[in-house]
A and B are shown apart, each in its own frame.
Chain A
Amino acid sequence: MQINKDNLIKINDYLWEIPKSFRSDMRVPARVYATEKMLEEILTDRSLNQLINVATLPGIQKYALAMPDIHEGYGFPIGGVAAMDFETGVISPGGIGYDINCGVRLLKSNLSFKDVEPYLESLARELYSEIPSGVGRGGKLRLNDDDFDEVLKRGAKWMINKEFGKENDAYFLESFGCLENADPDKVSSHAKSRGKDQLGTMGAGNHFVEVDRVHKIFDEKIAEIFGLKKDQIVVLIHTGSRGFGHQVATDYIRIMMQAMPKYGIILPDRELACVPFSSPEGKAYFDAMAAAANFAWANRQMITHEVRKSWKNILGDAGGELSVVYDVAHNIAKIEEYFMEGKYKKVIMHRKGATRAFGPGQEEIIKEYRSAGQPVLIPGSMGTASFVLVGTKDSMKESFGSSCHGAGRRMSRHEAKREVRGNELREEMEREGIHVKVGSTPGLAEEAPLAYKDVREVVDVVEGAGIAKKVAELKPIAVIKG
């Protein structure tokens, strides 16, 4: 059934609802955060149909949610958030995505733009040569089977112990860079062999390492708590669990497809494949997913090490320290508790292209940031702007402690390549003072800003809706990608 604007109820200027009555198999309503203008664009693809499919999953609570950067995916839309009842609900690998714990890490320096400007070209070149990127290029780290399993169990912490990081790095990561339930025995040998040489590699697509300049501060007090100030140089890392996570997801979608008839689950799309969270298959996936999440945190840790090495090679002792501001996962499932129907209820939170955005006072937030709320890192499209937001009390009530994750695609890669030429885009970025180091020039065109929504509009929606608040805007001065 085609959805049009008349099928949506406007809740406020930034929130719309498709009522449960729209389709007979919906268990809860579906809600989307967007302005009216953005909603019209969202209605041109099939992302809301996909969101409605999510609303049919067994055990889903309150509503299926879509963030303003929503776009059509496979199974769940990208930008989807769904909370499943802990006892009766399902877990769906398609609600997390193939790139398990794809996420973003922000590092801060003590230097300002004028300190780094003369060295930018050599820094960009050094970062490009130090951090392996592109499709099929392996990393420098070769681990034996036992050590690899330890990485899966301990995530970023293992890397830090092996001197690929500073002692307090893990403290500043979501979940301290390690999900404790990770079980390497629940991971196939295929996944292990696919991921073995990929620690410390960026990959391709929209993944990147960026050197940014803090362009604007929106909230001085919270920026100070996060250690950010105008003109400061920071580094943003965007990557995930690489082939390892892709294979874990592939394996378990296959397992669940075969197990579903046993649990009597019938779905509108095979890609939503799911099983009860309490089933053996559900538990095994959750533990394998945690291993992939840990792989991703270890990967971003190794890249942090490579960034620091490049930084020191170019800037020497004058470069000072690069310390971690925060690290967020935007493709993950977690057990969380929310206040519903008069009591706190445990749920399996699915976030696929959505960021946890816990508000002030939450126990899970480290004490340094607790009064402010959790930092929410939003990478924009290449060469535009990225944002640091903070979670709010309302996000806990309204959006299961979740917010957007990026700009959100609006144009296919094919169409982007037809509209823009990679080398022209590179020249344009260089004219704006951005140093670009990239493996594939056609790949650059695929990531052109016109292929994405305007990240400013996206963050204005989450701020307008009250589920996150703007703290700082970052502008890229060097972009490194595969």
Chain B
Amino acid sequence: MKSYQILPHVADIRLKVEADNLPELFMAAIEGMMTIIKESKAEEQEREKRIIEVESADATSLLIDFMNDILYQSHTNKEIYTEVNFLEFSEKALKAEIYGIKVDDFDEDIKAVTYHEVEIKKNEKGNFETVIVFDI
């Protein structure tokens, strides 16, 4: 189970993500972020595979660092990533294959994924959740 919800913020955009395990939480976050930067995408075109490796101090930082790395890939390759496949995953490090499709432009310019008040926690349903603020 995984879900994301885009929430408003005075100046920026927030994304609430929830999942019953950490890899799924990370996937929901990427899915949400990609929807913000490009809502409609042509699925049928050929996809480019890229490998991402990230190491961080804890699971929360790992999530934000992973998202920022994918955002960087999107901006420089002009790609939207439609699939994430974890090759390795722990609370402090991950290795993933990501699959991207080319786009001409983006709907929204996310400058960065911030660490503002982000903290992965278990909610009352026993799922992992957090809210992420983007600088737009």
Contact = CB atoms under 8 A, between A and B. Distances in A.
B10 A410 contact: yes
Given A134-B105, A258-B57, A194 B112 contact: no
A415 interface: yes
Interface in A68-84: 71-75, 78
Interface string A411-442: 11111000000000000000000000000100
B88 interface: no
B12 interface: yes
Nearest to B58: A257
A72 B10 contact: yes
A72 B72 contact: no
Contacts of B117: 74, 269-271
Contacts of A98: 111-112, 135
Given A412-B9, A413-B136, A269 B105 contact: no
A97 B112 CA distance: 10
Interface residues of A, number: 41
A45 interface: yes
B40 interface: no
A320 interface: no
A78 B11 CA distance: 9
B3 interface: no
A227 interface: no
A136 B78 contact: yes
Contacts, number: 100
A57 interface: no
B65 interface: yes
What is the interface residue range for chain B against chain A? 35 or more
A99 B9 contact: no
Contacts of A269: 115-117
Contacts of A243: 75, 111
A136 B78 CA distance: 7
A45 B72 CA distance: 30
B65 A254 contact: yes
Nearest to B115: A270
A72 B12 CA distance: 9
Contacts of A97: 135
What 5 A-B pairs come out closest when comparing CB atoms? A74-B116, A412-B8, A270-B115, A414-B8, A271-B116
5 contacts: A74-B117, A136-B78, A250-B68, A270-B60, A409-B10
Given A74-B135, A205-B109, A254-B68, 8 more contacts: A71-B10, A99-B111, A204-B108, A246-B112, A250-B68, A254-B56, A412-B10, A414-B8
